[in-house]
């Protein structure tokens, strides 16, 4: 049986970037990081999947999102800095939820 069929049977949707973590857990972690950092971002599943389809690297996905939708932030911060900060916060939430695989 193919992985996609197994995932549908278990009603768990994952991404190719990290098949161990369900999309909803990833989204909750990202959106929690955005709130904590007081960023005006909110990702839904469609946005997350679109970003995952653009590039595999999470830092690059975040940077692409910032450059595309919130370029005004780049006058104060650079994209690699913001991407790293968001990724650290997101991973902290996944660790706290016991969802991150080391």
- The per-residue pLDDT for range 6-53, each reduced to its tens digit, is 333 333 333 444 668 999 999 999 999 999 999 999 999 999 999 999
The three-state secondary structure class of 65 is helix
The per-residue pLDDT for 20 is 80
The per-residue pLDDT for 12 is 36
Token output for 80: 């690699």
Residues in the chain: 102
The per-residue pLDDT for 100 is 65
Average pLDDT of the chain, as a whole number: 84
pTM: 0.79
What does the pLDDT look like over 54-99, one tens digit per residue? 998 999 999 999 999 999 999 999 999 999 999 999 999 999 988 7
| Residue 40: half-sphere exposure toward Cβ, Cα within 13 Å | 5
């Amino acid at each position: 049986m193919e992985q996609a069929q197994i995932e549908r049977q278990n009603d768990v949707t994952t991404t190719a970037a990290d098949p161990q973590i369900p999309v909803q857990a990833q989204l909750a972690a990202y959106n929690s990081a955005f709130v904590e950092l007081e960023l005006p971002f909110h990702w839904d599943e469609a946005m997350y999947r679109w970003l995952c389809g653009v590039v595999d690297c999470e830092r690059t996905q975040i940077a692409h999102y910032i450059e595309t939708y919130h370029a005004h932030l780049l006058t104060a911060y650079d994209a690699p800095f913001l991407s790293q900060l968001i990724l650290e916060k997101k991973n902290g939430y996944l660790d706290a939820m016991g969802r991150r695989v080391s």
